Structure 1
């Protein structure tokens, strides 16, 4: 058994076709087929049931695949660690945060890097619609801060640390309350007002299906600061991070909506996220340990 054969096995199991796998791996179909045969000869049992149109793993093959995936992950971690040991501290450290989070959470980390890793250049990128998670998954960022739900684990192999509370609140502009002549107090009231709602998240979650919120008219935005400005301008009601709306609520520009039996305040957590498949460099690991 060798790693290239195991990687071919993982690809075939995912795509269910020798030809598609060969195209994906830039190999010939015969090369992929031969690799699977060598694996089966070495294992002593069939990995795939070849009787159908799509290749399906046998029961033994499913158990074999899980271990093969772990072997490949361990190899990737070892390769990543080797690179870090070879070159020392990383020349570039990329930190991401979702715009719904307070970017000031990064300030102690940046100060630490400046003091202890002066040769490391730091990039700080704000992202919307949970693109920060996608960047951790595809390796274009080292660490990310974002609101966290357990279901996000199905979209990548992540490790996380809770770092701060995250509250959402339902709000509306005081000017729109005046036009409506009362503070909305029922789901029916909300149906009569436009809703400012985020566009579907980049990681594949349909917010309409998850939230099931009432409103006949919707204005979709892809960035929370735009949503906040539209809220203050009286274009509708919406759900927004409480730390963003706090001052506007205190100043009377926004009013919190309280409806019995409806979402009023949602308390989640902001997590620090990294990939479970890549070893962090010294600077990134120092940040991780400081949050831990």
Structure 2
């Protein structure tokens, strides 16, 4: 019983709406027509609403009945998901898989693995969080995420188990009208320090560890998309992931430039799949981790 109705009554209502009559609903549900009629009469009485117009040869859904039948479908679908999650949990699957993903991580290489996860665990609720730098590691340590797809700079912390998945190329870029865009040689520290550097920072500790700083004038951002907006508007320079600037470069909105003795690895920054050392993922999380590792080894 849910409040003043039962799931069985809702199932009867939805079945009648789908098959068109009480008698057809009885055949589909393998019940006597009298039982079908009684279920609807009880539902109408408890809700104080006429679900069917009985003046004709056969009962027809009223306007209220049509609307409530749609709501009944949603309730039944939700109840089915409830039962499916409970069944999966009884089988050892975690009730929810929480993933934390760094903003610099490209989504495309992860899509196939996430499709496979959905096929393998179709009833598993999955939640994603994308925060500023440091957010994924913080979620692992707090236990609010089972897995993180993230950067780990300057090195993998001792309290984290991490597996390299892919590399993301980072390129120094500016808007076409920015003074650095016309520089004919590699930029030296003296060239960079007077220009605003647009820095992606940890929202919790913005003055914490930062890497690749080369300017005395810093504008700090938590949101990568917002930083791109300011980059395109010519407010400063920064290093951006190649997958995010391909289109602005092709259209001429942005231009790359070289930095003398740039400390950023030429092969790109390593993206890891990671979990807390003292907190292993559940069944689905381990499955996804192995799937990500397998695709990384193949690709």
TM-score band, normalised by the shorter chain?
A: 0.5 to 0.7
Residue matched to 2:167: 165
Question: Of 196, 199, 208, which aligns to 1:194?
Answer: 196
| CA pair 199-289 structure 1, distance change in 2 beyond 3 A | closer
Residue matched to 1:31: none
- For the pair 1:226 / 2:230, whether they are aligned, the reply is no
Question: TM (normalized to structure 2)?
Answer: 0.60
- For the pair 1:268 / 2:269, whether they are aligned, the reply is yes
Residue matched to 1:289: 290
Structure 2: unaligned runs, 5 residues or longer: 1-87, 294-299
| Structure that is richer in helix per residue | 1
What is the rounded CA distance, in whole Å, between the counterparts of 2:264 and 2:252 in structure 1?
A: 18
Residue matched to 1:277: 278
What is the rounded CA distance, in whole Å, between the counterparts of 2:113 and 2:207 in structure 1?
A: 30
In the TM superposition, residue 203 of structure 1 has moved relative to its aligned partner by 7.3
What RMSD, in angstroms, separates the aligned Cα atoms of the two structures? Answer: 2.7
| CA pair 140-264 structure 1, distance change in 2 beyond 3 A | closer
In the TM superposition, residue 273 of structure 1 has moved relative to its aligned partner by 0.7
- For the pair 1:104 / 2:105, whether they are aligned, the reply is no
What is the rounded CA distance, in whole Å, between the counterparts of 2:286 and 2:155 in structure 1?
A: 25
- For the pair 1:216 / 2:209, whether they are aligned, the reply is no
Larger radius of gyration: 2
Cα deviation digits, residues 30-85 of structure 1 (max 9, x gap): xxxxxxxxxxxxxxxxxxxxxxxxxxxxxxxxxxxxxxxxxxxxxxxxxxxxxx98
| Structure that is richer in strand per residue | 1
What is the rounded CA distance, in whole Å, between the counterparts of 1:207 and 1:170 in structure 2?
A: 20
What is the rounded CA distance, in whole Å, between the counterparts of 2:178 and 2:206 in structure 1?
A: 33
2:156–2:162 contact (8 Å) kept in structure 1 = no
1:170–1:265 contact (8 Å) kept in structure 2 = no
* SS across alignment from 1:288: helix
- For the pair 1:137 / 2:141, whether they are aligned, the reply is yes
Count of aligned positions: 204
In the TM superposition, residue 86 of structure 1 has moved relative to its aligned partner by 5.9
Which shows bigger deviation, 239-248 or 85-94?
85-94
Cα deviation digits, residues 224-283 of structure 1 (max 9, x gap): 221111111100111222222222222221111113323466422100011221232111
| CA pair 86-186 structure 1, distance change in 2 beyond 3 A | same
Residue matched to 1:39: none
